[in-house]
Structure 1
Amino acid sequence: MSVSPAASSPPPPAPPPVPAPTRADLLRFVRRVAADAALVASLPLDPECRTWVRLDGPGGSEAWLIGWPPGTGTGWHDHADSVGAFMTASGALKENSLAARLPSDGWRTLELTDGVDRERRLPAGQGRAFGRHHVHEVLNESPDRHAVSVHAYCPPLPRIRRYSRSGRILRLEQVERPEDWR
């Protein structure tokens, strides 16, 4: 009896690409992580400097658990083309932001119009999602208590633009790339 070779079958089709997480997906992720008391408590806290641990975010996003000593903040910055979300896990944070879409490139100094400033108080369990080119600063204004927060960005941060602000004048000071903070 002869056996005929089995016909080779074509390889199975590649699975469809996984869509990038949305702002809502990132917000759900940071909420879930912020509720993990054991993980939040495991973050080493420094009395003078922010501390952080990188986390695996959903769908290839970049995520961080960050400790904020009393009186610390980020300064004005944006996350370029990434969308993001963050949630306070313990303590309280304040976010100052601009409700204005800024040009993405090609400028060094802008005069802001009246009415663009926003302020949010974010106690433990509170957070927010944001879109591309969101300019903000995050602060721990407590004189004596650390805060801990969870942040997620998608795509992983291609750059961070840092700004200085004097009244209505916003000035681009520096552009950081991932190799600058690793």
Structure 2
Amino acid sequence: MSAPAPTPASAQAAPASPQAAPATDAEPETAPAPTAAQLLDFVTRSAADAELIASLPLDPEGRTWLRLEGPGGSEAWLIGWPPGTGTGWHDHAESIGAFATAAGTLKENSLAARIPTSAWKSLELAEDLDRERVLAAGEGRAFGQHHVHEVLNESTAQHAVSVHAYYPPLPLIRRYSRTGPVLRLEDVEQPEDWQ
């Protein structure tokens, strides 16, 4: 199944008029939830859309973003990364996700193990859990639930741009600090904090 073409949320098509579809008593069909592979396909195709990428205003001081229509009810974002910016360590709770670099290069640091989702404030991580990926323009990756990572634009001169998608839409984001092997829960953000 192919995901729909990305469009900015502000450019959504108007809903069909009530006369466009005959009235029925049948329950509306629910589309199946998108898979991580479908999210990856969506973000990769979106990252290759030069017109979409050019629509994002870039700010030299801070990250910029534009909400997109993701496949199957997913939450999707086009994000601009000035040189030297990053997310800090975080996870996306129960959502699966994918992201692809459209311009520049992004680095992802991640943990190769799922961590407990509650009942802790700090954890000492075992050795050999750290993973590092460098994603140049056109490259992407998908991830599962409770994936802990940070994404960075380590360039000192070039903006990076990326496309991200999550399903279900993000219920929360947990933010962490990290000192050596110690991961500490610092904050839990709700959707109203970033939308």
TM category (shorter chain) comes to over 0.9
- Name the residue aligned to 1:6: none
Q: How does 1:19-38 map to 2 (within 5 A)?
A: 19-38=32-51
Runs of 5+ unmatched residues, structure 2: 1-23
Asked if 1:68 corresponds to 2:96, the answer is no
Q: Deviations over 1:42-75 (max 9, x none)?
A: 1100001000000000011000000000000000
- Name the residue aligned to 1:155: 168
Q: CA deviation at 1:15?
A: 4.2
- Name the residue aligned to 1:121: 134
- Name the residue aligned to 2:5: none
Q: CA deviation at 1:121?
A: 0.3
Structure 1: distance between partners of 2:117 and 2:183: 14
Larger radius of gyration: 1
Q: How does 1:98-177 map to 2 (within 5 A)?
A: 98-177=111-190
Aligned residue identity for 1:82: S
Aligned residue identity for 1:48: E
Q: Deviations over 1:26-57 (max 9, x none)?
A: 00000110010011011100001000000000
Among candidates 68, 86, 108, match of residue 55 of structure 1: 68
Q: Deviations over 1:104-128 (max 9, x none)?
A: 1111100000000000000000010
- Name the residue aligned to 2:8: none
Runs of 5+ unmatched residues, structure 1: 1-10
Among candidates 23, 26, 35, match of residue 13 of structure 1: 26
Structure 2: distance between partners of 1:146 and 1:179: 27
Q: How many residues align?
A: 172
Structure 1: distance between partners of 2:184 and 2:176: 5
- Name the residue aligned to 1:94: 107
SS at match of 1:106: coil
Structure 1: distance between partners of 2:165 and 2:190: 17
Q: CA deviation at 1:181?
A: 1.7
Query: Normalized against structure 1, the TM-score is what?
Result: 0.92
